[in-house]
Amino acid sequence: MTNLVVVIDSGVGGISVLHEIFKQKLNIDLLYIADNLYLPYGNKSEQFIKNRCAKLITFAANKNACAIVIACNTATAYGAEYVRSLYPHIPILGTEPAIKPAVNLSNNGNIGLLATAATAKSMRLTNLVTRYAPNSRVIIQACPGLAEQIERGELASIKTKLLLQKYVNPLLDNECDVIILGCTHYPFIKPLLKQIIPPHIKVIDSGYAIAKYLYDTLNKRFTNLTTTDNTQTVTFMNTSPLNNLTHVLPIFWLHEFNHASLLNL
Ligand code: DGL
């Protein structure tokens, strides 16, 4: 077993989770894979997403990763169970909308959830809501096009703002006092969202919880897991020959990294 942790997403979104993992200062090497040849996952079929997820996880498993993080709500919704059955010996952590914390944070029981269309209609999300929020009103808003705007680096453009406004309006109409970011791309537009919503509305995502869970998982396997001097290496790969991630990384990743190379998958 290596000390490699592989983090995957359809694009740059999972970097919001990578940030949280990096902040933990662990003695690990991080490989981030953006499947940007097939972005967005949010408008793809269940079978397609499941197959891509399996391809990426198989690649990570062949690299002897000590853990894999699916830093994508959409891929988790359709692929997590399947890939865990393929590689039961590797911890495969998924990303799910933070329903349970939202229930604890809400004062009025009205919770808004922004997600991709695929996540919004997934059975996994329905089950999550039934399980953790039986007494709340969860307004699920699909946000087609939003992840693509973020992927282009348009974190504050008028177009992104108008699109976000359109998706947030129904949540405001329903008096939601908590908004869950149910797609890992969305934390990158949290500042924009804050401009749109009243200050009393809380905004939450799952990044920190995943990083903490990864820490707990690895801590059972490694001694000396944490480090004071940050020795983590971070390498990026992407699957689209036309969209090398290196060009947009200065917007999303402010630390050192190894250049993004092409992964033919
Ligand atoms: N970042 C992804 C998620 O958390 C998916 C975005 C997309 O490819 O549609 O769901």
SS3 237: strand
Of 66, 72, 143, 176, the catalytic one is 72
210-243 burial, b at 16+ Cβ within 10 Å, e below that, comes to bbebbeebbeeeeeebeeeeeebebbbbbbbeeb
Distance between Cα 56 and ligand 1 center (Å): 15
Taking the CA of residue 119 as reference, the ligand 1 atom at the shortest distance is 10
3-state class of 258 per DSSP?
strand
* Mean pLDDT score, 23-50: 96
pLDDT digits (tens, 9 = 90+) for 133-170: 999 999 999 999 999 999 999 999 999 999 999 999 99
Report the pLDDT value the prediction gives residue 247, as an integer from 0 to 100.
Answer: 87
Q: Which residue in the list 53, 66, 143, 183 is annotated as catalytic?
A: 183
pLDDT digits (tens, 9 = 90+) for 53-79: 999 999 999 999 999 999 999 999 999
Q: So what's the pLDDT on residue 256?
A: 86
- Cα(257)–Cα(265) distance, rounded to whole angstroms? 22
Annotation marks residue 66 as catalytic? no
User: Of ligand 1's atoms, which has the minimum distance to the CA of residue 72?
Assistant: 4
CA 47, CA 262: separation in Å to the nearest integer? Answer: 24
Parallel/antiparallel/unpaired status of strands 92-93 and 29-34: unpaired
- Name all residues whose Cβ lies below 6 A of ligand 1: 9-11, 13, 39-42, 72-74, 116, 119, 147, 183-185
Residue from 187, 202, 172, 211 nearest 103 by CA: 202
Model pLDDT, residue 86: 97
Pocket test of ligand 1: the residue of 19, 122, 185 to mutate, having most ligand atoms within 8 Å of its CB, is 185
Q: Scan for tokens 């020959």, then name that residue.
A: 241
Give me the phi and psi of 111, to 5 degrees please. -120, 130
| Beta bridge partner(s), residue 138 | 111
Residues 6+ apart with CB under 8 A from 84: 92
Please give the distance, rounded to the nearest whole angstrom, from the Cα atom of residue 78 to the centre of ligand 1: 12
pTM: 0.96
Write the pLDDT tens digit of every residue in 240-255: 999 999 889 999 998 8
With tokens 């453009």, the residue in question is: 157
Cα 84 to ligand 1 centroid, rounded to whole Å: 20
Choose one of 41, 149, 150 to mutate for the ligand 1 pocket test, by most ligand atoms within 8 angstroms of C-beta.
Answer: 41
Strands 233-238 and 29-34: parallel
Tell me how far the alpha carbon of residue 119 lies from the centroid of ligand 1, in angstroms.
Answer: 8
> Residues 185-236: pLDDT tens digits?
999 999 999 999 999 999 999 999 999 999 999 998 887 888 777 678 899 9
CB neighbour class for 145 (10 Å; exposed up to 12, middle 13-18, buried from 19): middle
